[in-house]
A and B are shown apart, each in its own frame.
Chain A
Amino acid sequence: MTERESIQRALEHLRASDDTLKEVMSMIDKEQSVKSMKRAGRMTLRTALIAALIAVLGIITALAASEGGFLQVVRNNFNVRDRAPDAEIVQMQDVETGEIRYFANSEVLGIIVDDEDGNATSYIIAFTAGEHAPKELRDWKLGKLPEGFEQTEASRDDRRGAVEYKAHPEGIRVELIDFSYELPGSGITFYQPFTLENVTVNGDDGVLIKSPIFTEEWQGQRYGLQQLHLFWFSSDAGVGFTLYYYGIPGIDLIELAESVEPV
């Protein structure tokens, strides 16, 4: 008996439980049932889960989305509706702290991050290879920023390079962590459900990371954003698919991409 045959015999009894498929089909049925309810105008399962979580944490008020120019640009430029007709952005306010948090009820929009003042400052969106979203982002970024957001001082070429930056496939591997990342000393927390693994699980081929819109170096230092970008940069090599970045505050994006060693 060959080595391969021996090992195959040793492992051949590893089989999924008999009820695995039955359980999966049951979950699918439940999921579709919830989707039907949502179409009828009821709260989505995802929103309900988020709301329940928030309630448990003592966060009570869930307000309807109030989309500013930024989020509108996201919608308009990223073809979100084509991929997820029911995509919504839900704004929730912590009644104790007044903090406003944004969640996406669709896996297409992965995360909206707030800063200390409760402003939406960043988002991450997964896309499928060949989709036009990255190009549209680039075109949008090279054009006029939405109302209420400052124009960065990066040059046109810098921005283009930042958006088009791709990770080196031979980069150093790092362990990825769940994407609930608190920036040191800033009080800014990035919330679940987004993880880089999620993107793979969802079948997407890449991730676009939009950095917080800060323009001064001190802002980046204050909020620990350079550390965050190092984290993303190192994660890039770990996941093995393309991450697009843009908007790193106070430093040249291309320089960061090419010269900073992954942590």
Chain B
Amino acid sequence: MDVMGVRSFSQGETKMFTREQFTLVAEQHMDMIFRIAFSYLRSREDADDVTQNVLLALYRTDKAFRDGDHLKAWLIRVTINACRKILRSPWRRRNAPLEEYAGAMPFQEARDSDLFLAIMALDVKYRSVIVLYYYEGYDIAEIGNLLGIPVGTVGTRLARARNMLKSTLAEASI
């Protein structure tokens, strides 16, 4: 099991990454962090804030990651926790209309836009599962571990989310 290298600074600090290594890792994962954060918060501004904070946490941590998968799972977990915290905050920013944001996205086809809006119209517990399963490619057991919920609950949420999406899109096409 390879452990990602640790660099010691002269003052006694211990950091996982050099600046260059951090930049590479951040570039590799920041869109994923943003995507998950957006799926929770439905706000570009909040999702950007979370992305920045999670990357800062990554830079600051002295945690040794076994491999890329371990690092990615850590980032997702930190992102989810940060989003949950924001969702509970009374100071949360006001959301810009989702349609307005979607309208600025370069969708190739109208059905992509419809599906995006349909996903974002789901409750957060369904949105998060959809993103992790379909986009990030985690299986149900892995999602259960990431979200801290039973596997059966993940499966139920996924099935319900699918049904709701199908129902919404079917209504839209009528």
Instruction: Please give the residue numbers on chain A whose beta carbons come within 8 Å of chain B beta carbons, in ascending order.
Output: 3-4, 6-11, 13-17, 20-21, 23-25, 27-28, 35, 39, 83, 85, 128, 170, 173, 175-178, 195, 197, 200-204, 238-240
| A contacts with B: majority SS | helix
Chain B: which residue is nearest A39 at the CB level?
B11
B55 CB–A CB distance under 8 Å: yes
Q: Which of A13, A15, A27 contacts B52 (CB 8 A)?
A: A27
- A53 to chain B minimum Cβ distance, whole angstroms, is 15
Q: What chain A residues lie within 8 Å of B62 (beta carbons)?
A: 83, 128, 203
Contact (A20, B60) CB under 8 Å given A3-B134, A6-B115, A7-B119:
no
Question: Is there an interface contact between B81 and A178, defined as CB atoms closer than 8 Å?
Answer: no
- B153 to chain A minimum Cβ distance, whole angstroms, is 9
Q: Which of B13, B30, B77, B130 contacts A20 (CB 8 A)?
A: B30
> Can you offer 26 A-B residue contacts whose CB atoms are under 8 A?
A6-B112, A7-B115, A7-B130, A8-B134, A9-B112, A10-B107, A13-B107, A16-B33, A16-B51, A20-B34, A21-B26, A27-B52, A27-B56, A28-B59, A39-B11, A128-B63, A173-B148, A177-B88, A197-B82, A197-B84, A202-B61, A203-B57, A203-B60, A203-B63, A203-B74, A239-B148
- B92 to chain A minimum Cβ distance, whole angstroms, is 13
Q: What chain B residues lie within 8 Å of A35 (beta carbons)?
A: 11
Chain A: which residue is nearest B79 at the CB level?
A201
Interface string of B64-88 (1 = CB under 8 A from A): 0000000000100110011011001
A17 to B38, CA, bound (A): 12
Name 20 extra pairs, CB < 8 A, besides A175-B84, A177-B88: A4-B134, A7-B134, A10-B107, A10-B116, A11-B39, A11-B135, A15-B34, A16-B30, A16-B34, A16-B51, A20-B30, A20-B48, A23-B52, A25-B19, A128-B63, A197-B85, A200-B78, A201-B54, A201-B82, A203-B62
